[in-house]
Amino acid sequence: MSIDVPEPVQPPVDGALRLCVDNLSVLRGGRRVLDHLSFSLSAGQALIVTGPNGAGKSTLLRALAGLLPRAGGSIALEGGPSDVDLPQQAHYLAHSDGLKAALSVEENLEFWSRYLAQEPDPRSRTVGAALGVVGLGHVAAAPFGVLSAGQKRRAALARLLVAFRPLWLLDEPLTALDRASREKFALAMRDHCALGGLIVAATHEPLGLEEAAELPLGSAG
Amino acid sequence: MSSPLAALFLREWRVARRIGGSGAMGVVFFLTLVAIVPFAVGPDPNLLARIGPAILWIAALLATLLCLDRLFQADAEDGSLDLFHLSETPLELAVLVKCAAHWAATGLPLVIAAPFLGLMLQQEAMALLGVVATLLVGTPALTLIGAIGAAATVTVRRGGLLMALLVLPLTIPVLIFGVSAAEAASGGAVPFYAPFAILCAITLAALALCPFAAAAALRYLGE
C-alpha cells in the first residue's frame, strides 16, 4: 500500500460555478427524446427533473454526464477549471450502484475515492466519514453483495461523498431507502449545496429539498 | 504507476481472486484439455513429445478466452463502466490496467502450470523451458487481443461464444509464432530466436494498439 502525501491545495473558488444547458437535443433510437431544452443552474442550487416515464429524465442525466451524444445544443459548466471536462466534475448515480459484490463496502469506496478524485480536495470525506453519514459504519467490512437493497443504495450514495465533485447527477437516488436514510441523504445534499455544489436529480418522490427548482419534462407523446 | 491506476489494479486483482472463477477455473480447464489429448491421439510418447508444445499452446489459448468474456461485461452490468467514462483517467489506460490485472490473475497461473502439464506430454527440459518462455511472452497478447472481443460483445448477453468467434482468427499469428518458437527450443531446423522475437513484437504491438481498439468499442457501445 502506498500512502499518498496530500499536496497543498488551492482554495476552491466557491459560488462561481454555473451549469448552462442551451438548446439541448438528444436522440435515442432515432427518436428525439429531448428537444431544444434550455436551463441553467447556479452553484448551491438543486434542480429536480420531473415527468412521466419516458419523458427523458434519465436521458437528460446521461447526456449531462457525457454518456450520450448530443444531437444539438451545448452543455457547459462555467466558472470551473478550464482544463477539466464537465463529466470529470460530475458524479453520476443511476439505477446501478457501480460497486462490486465481492469486495467489502470499504474497499469499494476506497477504490472510487482514489479513482474519481485525482487531486485531493478538502471537501472530499474519508471513507469512514462517508459511511458514517449514510449510517453504514457497522457494515464497512462486509462484502457489498450481502447488503440489503437499501443498504446497497446507501453505499452507492456514500460514493458521492468520498470524492468531491461539484455536480451531482442523480437518477432516482431514493430507490429502496427508508425514511431515516432519506432524511440523512437530504442533509447530505444540503451540505453539498452549501459547499457550492450543484444537484440535478430525476425523481418521482420528494427529495426533501424545499428550495430546489423544478424542471418538468413533457410527456413521452 | 499513479494512484488511480494502482487502485484499479488492486480492485481487479481482488475481484478476480475472490470470485475465484477466473484464475483457478482457467488452470483447471487448461489441465483438463491437456489431459484429454492423450486419450484422443493415443499414448505414443514420441507423438506426444512432438505435438506437446502445440497442445499446450492451444489449451492456453482456449483457457485464456474462456476467462475473458466477463472482462468488461461485469463492469457494464454494475454501472462501473459508466463511471470509468467520467474519470480523468483515460479509458485506454483503464483497459490496459484491467488487462494487466486479468493477465496476472488468469494468464500467469497458466504459465506457471504449463511445465507441470508439459511433463504429462513427454516434454524434455529444453522444450518445457521453450513453452514457458513463449507462453510468458505470448499470453499477454492473447489477453489484449481478447479484450477487443470482450469490449465488442459487452452488450451481448451470453456473448462468450461470439467473442471467441471474433477473437480466435486474430490470435492465429500469436499461435503460429508461439508454437514454432516453443518447438524450436527443443531443437529443429528453425532457430529459437527468430520466431520468439516476432512473438515479442506481436505482444508489444498488441500492447500499443489493443487498449485503443477496446476503449473505442466501449465508447461506441456505451452510447
Contact yes or no for A92 and B83 at CB 8 A: yes
CA dihedral A106, A110, A113, A116 (to 10 degrees): -110
In B, minimum Cα distance to A3 occurs at B3
Res B121: pLDDT: 87
The pLDDT-based confidence of A156 (bands split at 50, 70, 90) is: very high
In degrees rounded to 5, what are phi and psi of residue A19? Answer: -90, 120
Taking the alpha carbons at both ends of chain A, their separation in whole angstroms is 54
CA distance A55 to A33: 7
CA distance B24 to A92: 35
The pLDDT-based confidence of B149 (bands split at 50, 70, 90) is: very high
Model-level ipTM above the cut of 0.95: no
Q: CB neighbours of A128 closer than 8 A, spacing ≥ 6?
A: A137, A140
Report chain B's C-alpha Rg in angstroms: 18
Q: What angle do CA B56, B196, B167 make, to 5 degrees?
A: 55
The pLDDT-based confidence of B22 (bands split at 50, 70, 90) is: low
Taking the alpha carbons at both ends of chain B, their separation in whole angstroms is 30
pLDDT tens-digit profile of B159-215? 888 998 999 999 999 999 999 999 888 777 778 889 999 999 999 999 999 999 999
Q: Is B24 on the interface with A (CB under 8 A)?
A: no
Q: Residue B88: which of A88, A95, A102 has the nearest Cβ?
A: A88
Contact yes or no for B18 and A88 at CB 8 A: no
Nearest to A159 by CA among A209, A91, A100, A102: A91
Q: Is B6 on the interface with A (CB under 8 A)?
A: yes
Which residues of B fall within a CB distance of 8 Å from A95?
A: 79
CA distance A58 to A77: 19
CA distance A206 to A128: 28
Over residues A70-76, the mean pLDDT reads 87
pLDDT tens-digit profile of B74-91? 899 888 999 998 888 899
Residue B20 has pLDDT above 80, yes or no: no
Between A204 and B133, whose confidence is greater?
Answer: B133
Q: Residue A87: which of B15, B78, B86 has the nearest Cβ?
A: B86
Which of B75, B82, B97, B155 to mutate to test binding with chain A, by most A CBs within 10 Å of its CB?
B82
Contact yes or no for B78 and A103 at CB 8 A: no
Nearest to B103 by CA among B12, B7, B198, B217: B12
Which of B1, B13, B83 to mutate to test binding with chain A, by most A CBs within 10 Å of its CB?
B83
Which of A5, A100, A147, A162 to mutate to test binding with chain B, by most B CBs within 10 Å of its CB?
A100
Nearest to B28 by CA among B56, B57, B63, B58: B63
Q: Could you tell me the pTM of the whole model? A: 0.88
Residue A81 has pLDDT above 70, yes or no: yes
At the topology level, CATH places domain A18-216 in: Rossmann fold (3.40.50)
Cell of B152: 465488442
Q: Is B19 on the interface with A (CB under 8 A)?
A: yes
DSSP H stretches of helix in chain B: 3-19, 21-41, 45-68, 73-78, 80-85, 91-102, 108-120, 125-152, 160-167, 172-185, 193-222
Cell of B26: 482457467
**What is the nearest CA distance from B14 to chain A, expressed in angstroms?**
7
Q: CB neighbours of A31 closer than 8 A, spacing ≥ 6?
A: none
* Stretch among A78-82, A97-101, B125-129 having the lowest mean pLDDT: A78-82
Q: CB neighbours of A117 closer than 8 A, spacing ≥ 6?
A: A124, A162, A163, A164, A165
Contact yes or no for A91 and B86 at CB 8 A: yes
Cell of B208: 500499443
Q: How many residues belong to chain B? A: 223
User: CB–CB of A197/A168 below 8 Å?
Assistant: yes
Q: Is B77 on the interface with A (CB under 8 A)?
A: yes
Over residues B65-80, the mean pLDDT reads 88
Where b means 16+ CB within 10 Å and e means fewer, B80-115 reads bbbbbbbbebebbbbbbbbbbbbbbbbbebbbebbb
**Highest mean pLDDT: which of A50-54, B115-119, B155-159?**
B115-119
Nearest to A139 by CA among A171, A108, A161, A172: A108
